[in-house]
Structure 1
């Protein structure tokens, strides 16, 4: 049997043949409906082939792949677990525990709930002498920097993440020029902006240092990795290609790899249903591993509120499991040669380089920021992301879809991440508001179960996003029964769920008999009936593609007014 299998050959199919079958499967929908336009302005095709890749990149493909594979700073994927603690004693206990359990790079945000006094700095110094580290500081006067006065070994290795370079030149292996794109990421930047900004920051620091050689020896880049799996892989790969082009502009003879640090994005993290953050973290860490990050920090799933020993351990183990069980670490550039990834990488390189040149023409990153162009761009991008979530064009599992109405939004906030612009915030605020007012809401289900169930389920999921579990009338099969139920219904808000032809008969009659203060919506668009129904007392409609936050905010305000 095995010999026979080896001799079997499957016929190859051309792109045109595949397209022909795809068009048939679409049953009248245009083939172009399979193309996806991303927020970066890149159009994703439904299928990528070797011929398409060769046509787009030609001889450049080999150069792209060789550049990516040669610019790996480390020989692996190192775990950079952040250390937390409510006091100094707990902090240092957890720090030591993290080292013993697989933490390769001690990661510390200097904004801890205790003081960096002489004793704590001495204890920290002893740890940093033996382990590599990544330290987030607020500025060059940050108290934690006093730890370097207590370290007499210039061979210590680590990274200082700050908004401006830090003067620690006596420590040759401590990289202090942080090309940190994470703040821009959380403001809404796409992969294109992050890549362009990384080069613009490097250009700025080279000018400040009086040359690029100092930047090469002291710089590192820090990226946030979001849930768009393939996009994030391509982003990290594209950076290496861009870094080579950037270095050539400074006439660098011997190109050196710059360390790539990365962390899970908090833009998509949520306070309600925080365990979904575990799925996001795993997806993002795996993208970082495949994309070639040298150090990776997984933020605990409850880091927005209060990380626990358990959540910190789980976060660390996400990276450890990926390292040990995926075997990706044993492969150089695991996604290299993928028609899709290579094409996307090249697209990002082209678009990011173009934006970088625009920033430089504007006078550099500082001038570009001061002009307001950068913030306007980031604000527009964030609003586009927010709108996509609020209309369900982008799924935020557990928040705008498949939400658990029993979840609570914890009031506690971790001050380290309090200022992050997250996509779930508007849903969380609405959930809190609905819990305070506890309005009585029901679905009037008309007809047989098979007729109303799809729309009733949609409405139930719609309301679940703000923590509401509506009551349901059950099968109502006559107009008189529907009128009677509505007249005696003790609710503030009722949504009618019925198939189109039933709703067109039911709604006008019910509007004549509904209690004065009762808000009534209907599930569906009903474009032809819209104006007359609204003029006769219908509150509105619930339908797919609607802005959930806007709709349920309006409903809440109306219900609050009625209750008052």
Structure 2
């Protein structure tokens, strides 16, 4: 028997792998394996030690060391938000969360006013536990009059610095990029904006004064590796930022994170659980100091059960994954280290651009325009399904209705399709798929069209496949549908299209599955349904045409 310890294998080179990959692609170019992100970073299909060293120019150890020294000791803090219709319900939920593993009292959206009595009750709770305050209502700041433990640890998340000299362990200089995130910011833009906000704080204080009270707030999206790299990159950037102010050994920078709602949807809400879990795990691997996981149904209103599930996402990661027992879990990964370096380089360049424009406040119009461009690109990708939102723009349940309730309102990628579904609910459209050919040849396109229509909440009638031209023409001429789509192979479509167009009733909106170079639209064809199409625009146009015909 062979002793496997003595067996050696010839090490394959990148060139060997590339040759094998090109063979497996069967004629497709190798470049088809490259992926360009919204940040403008090109992701390679394979990363090697050699490619990493070449990219980082011998500074890998310095990058890893910086990330680790800029991280505060200890595992991340679980900061589950509490909610409530009144202060009593909020306090009860917060106390229950603390008993079940929560570590930071975190104020979520509440439906009551911060009266003196409410502030006293909150103050008593914050006197005994670390906290994270998100200042949406400035009235909550009155709680500091009722916090008896002046040494308590806390984070005050706000767009403006807050002066709390009597609370030395409460961080109040917050680089808050959450609003930029929901305006569409890329990871590069978020990192640069955070530095630019920090630079604004420096105008009225020394670096040493600011760093004692400073922290940054990031929302983490579903792009797993990019989210990990974003957190790591900020630590490298903070070291460079400190050096620009003459500080060689800054204190570790604190990073508070929360799961992003940008990809959340009111449709198929349990998919939001998967999104939140993905985002939370990336936060922990990236080295976040604080983590808030939003409940999967927060868009319409959290429940005690959904709050508990969200909290348990963080607890399972902390207690069962063992990832917190590893210093910098992603450190040394060729891919993540390369991505971290790319983000550092590009974010620093964008930060300098902001500073050259006069700083964060002076460059607000430039930043706003850049964020708008990023948001438009994100929305366009969702509408074309280049970015998939499971249960919303792909793999949708056509029978599901969009809940009317709204508890939290932020810019979300799912909103266009939610609104589209409401539009079709208010003005229903009857749709039919004509299948011409054998089932095995028509089914792929039929399923594709059904999937497209499902995003608008449409369940079409699907005819039995037929190879009889007379029968398919009869089906079209006698249809009661407002909208009809032909599903057939390219060859069969070309064979029957002229006859179908000649027989098509004037009131029927007629499309074909597939993409063709033909002049059929001049003969009455409405258009085509194919992969890569802007399906939101297509369905919106079809609905408008249907309403016009019905007038």
Aligned position for 2:380:
387
The Cα offsets for residues 481-511 of structure 1, whole Å up to 9 and x where unpaired, read as 0111112211111100001111112111011
Aligned position for 1:171:
167
CA contact (8 A) 1:74 1:259 kept: no
The Cα offsets for residues 48-106 of structure 1, whole Å up to 9 and x where unpaired, read as 11111112223311000011111112400211101111222211111111111111111
The size of the alignment, in residue pairs, is 551
Deviation at 1:253, TM superposition (A): 4.6
Aligned position for 1:367:
362
1:296 aligned counterpart, secondary structure: strand
Alignment of structure 1 residues 407-556 onto 2, 5 Å: 407-414=400-407, 417-418=408-409, 420-527=410-517, 529=518, 531=519, 533-556=520-543
2:81 aligned counterpart, secondary structure: coil
Q: Does 1:25 align with 2:20?
A: no
CA contact (8 A) 2:128 2:149 kept: no
CA-based RMSD of the aligned residues comes to 1.2
Aligned position for 2:544:
557
Deviation at 1:228, TM superposition (A): 0.5
| Structure 2 Cα separation of the partners of residues 130 and 258 of structure 1 | 25
1:119 aligns with one of 117, 120, 124: 117
Aligned position for 1:129:
127
Alignment of structure 1 residues 264-303 onto 2, 5 Å: 264-303=259-298
Deviation at 1:12, TM superposition (A): 1.3
| Structure 1 Cα separation of the partners of residues 57 and 543 of structure 2 | 57
Alignment of structure 1 residues 204-283 onto 2, 5 Å: 204-208=200-204, 210-283=205-278
| Structure 1 Cα separation of the partners of residues 120 and 304 of structure 2 | 24
Q: Does 1:345 align with 2:343?
A: no
TM-score, scaled relative to structure 1: 0.96
Gaps of 5+ in 1: none
Alignment of structure 1 residues 30-49 onto 2, 5 Å: 30-49=29-48
2:335 aligned counterpart, secondary structure: helix
| Structure 1 Cα separation of the partners of residues 478 and 73 of structure 2 | 71
2:294 aligned counterpart, secondary structure: coil
CA contact (8 A) 2:487 2:512 kept: yes
Deviation at 1:270, TM superposition (A): 0.5
| Structure 2 Cα separation of the partners of residues 134 and 377 of structure 1 | 30
2:83 aligned counterpart, secondary structure: coil
| Structure 1 Cα separation of the partners of residues 397 and 4 of structure 2 | 48
2:110 aligned counterpart, secondary structure: coil
Bigger CA drift: 3-12 or 491-500?
3-12
The Cα offsets for residues 424-449 of structure 1, whole Å up to 9 and x where unpaired, read as 10000001111122211010001110
Q: Does 1:65 align with 2:58?
A: no
| Structure 1 Cα separation of the partners of residues 426 and 136 of structure 2 | 37
| Structure 1 Cα separation of the partners of residues 68 and 87 of structure 2 | 42
Aligned position for 2:186:
190
The Cα offsets for residues 212-251 of structure 1, whole Å up to 9 and x where unpaired, read as 1111111101001001000110110000000001011111
Aligned position for 2:146:
150
| Structure 1 Cα separation of the partners of residues 495 and 187 of structure 2 | 51
CA contact (8 A) 1:138 1:163 kept: no
2:331 aligned counterpart, secondary structure: coil
